[in-house]
Amino acid sequence: MTPEAFNTLFSICIGFALAGALVNGYQALAQRPAGFGLLQDGVAPKTFAAVPFLVFAAPFIIMRNTLRGMRVESRRAEFVMMATLIAGFWSMMSGTFFLMTLRAAGVLG
């Protein structure tokens, strides 16, 4: 495996792990699952605070909703595959940003 491929795989894993930790932390504090409905409160400080949270939590929410929809609504495999690709790419981007932030802060070498 090339270093670039390993770095990409590591970014995807870190992105999904970060998303899962954020969503589970939110659920523990709010006693309800996180979702994109957090943006439906109109113009309010709570809505603006939800945007950065959802930027990093979205891969987990997308996959949770997709897998739930696959079981409950019998969604087609093409839809599930497309949602998985979107969540994976989003996870790679958020994981890359998180790793770059850690490197800039001097936490990672």
Q: From CA 22, how far away is CA 81, in angstroms rounded?
A: 24
Residue-wise pLDDT tens digits, 21-72 = 999 999 999 999 999 988 887 888 888 889 999 999 999 999 999 998 888 8
Whole-angstrom CA distances from 77 to 58, 73, 83, 91, 95 are 21, 12, 10, 21, 26
Residue-wise pLDDT tens digits, 70-99 = 888 888 889 999 999 999 999 999 999 999
94 CB neighbour count, 10 Å cutoff: 23
